[in-house]
Chains A and B, each alone.
Chain A
Amino acid sequence: EAGVTQSPTHLIKTRGQQATLRCSPISGHTSVYWYQQALGLGLQFLLWYDEGEERNRGNFPPRFSGRQFPNYSSELNVNALELEDSALYLCASSLGLAVETQYFGPGTRLLVL
């Protein structure tokens, strides 16, 4: 069974640009989560989507946004990129129950110059 996939693996942008990151969940999973892992810091929760709706949001500014498509894949958009947005962005998926295990993808490494 295929795991969570993310694209691209690496992304290089300049300050002020926009970045779009993509995630495909495990087949049958309806929930998608986004986390940011900056160098030296722990994973920080960004967003949770379930059945196409945004269910919860972490302490990040509105320029971090996303959506979930009818096939449950998801997109994370980061507008007006800042240098401190450089991080590994991880997507996870689960069956959508509140305490269900989240399975992570390999991540997208975003570098903002």
Chain B
Amino acid sequence: EDQVTQSPEALRLQEGESSSLNCSYTVSGLRGLFWYRQDPGKGPEFLFTLYSAGEEKEKERLKATLTKKESFLHITAPKPEDSATYLCAAITGTASKLTFGTGTRLQVTL
């Protein structure tokens, strides 16, 4: 069965303190790895799609990378508005369903 595991469950950073979130996956035939941001009570907001090992994508203070076993979301010099839950998800085969991890709750303080 496909599994996506995220760590840590929660992370508290001070403004400007860079860090990385981890997403490890055990799936058969990864076809795409997705990162979303979710604010409390709202739907997930799309951030990045990665398709193959070695691929990297950047957007403002966020950078996503992909290896054969895991993905990292690097947050450089975070601001309080980056506080949210970050979700990673994988698509395998032709099923088109996203298998989600349980997320990392990020809190950035002044």
A-to-B contact residues, CB < 8 Å: 4, 31, 33, 35, 41-45, 48, 50, 55-56, 58, 88, 90, 92, 94, 98-99, 101-107, 109
Residues 34-86 of B contacting A (Cβ, < 8 Å):
34, 36, 41-46, 49, 51
Q: How far is the CB of A97 from chain B (nearest CB, A)?
A: 9
Contact of A109 among B32, B41, B94, B96 (CB under 8 A): B41
Closest 5 CB pairs of A and B: A104-B43, A45-B97, A42-B102, A43-B100, A99-B32
Q: How far is the CB of B3 from chain A (nearest CB, A)?
A: 11
Residue of B nearest to A88 (CB): B41
Contact of B43 among A55, A90, A99 (CB under 8 A): A90
Residue of B nearest to A56 (CB): B95
Contact A98–B100 (Cβ < 8 Å): no
Residue of A nearest to B93 (CB): A98
Is B98 in contact with chain A by the CB < 8 A criterion?
yes
Q: Once the chains are docked, how many angstroms separate the CA of A4 from the CA of B45?
A: 11
Contact partners of B49 in chain A: CB under 8 A: 101
Contact size range, B = 20 to 34
Contact B94–A98 (Cβ < 8 Å): yes
Given contacts A43-B44, A90-B44, A103-B46, 13 further A-B contacts (CB under 8 A): A4-B43, A31-B96, A42-B100, A42-B103, A43-B87, A43-B89, A43-B98, A43-B100, A48-B96, A56-B97, A99-B32, A102-B46, A106-B42
Residues 1-54 of B contacting A (Cβ, < 8 Å):
31-32, 34, 36, 41-46, 49, 51
Contact B96–A106 (Cβ < 8 Å): no
Contact partners of A33 in chain B: CB under 8 A: 96-98
Q: Once the chains are docked, how many angstroms separate the CA of A44 from the CA of B97?
A: 9
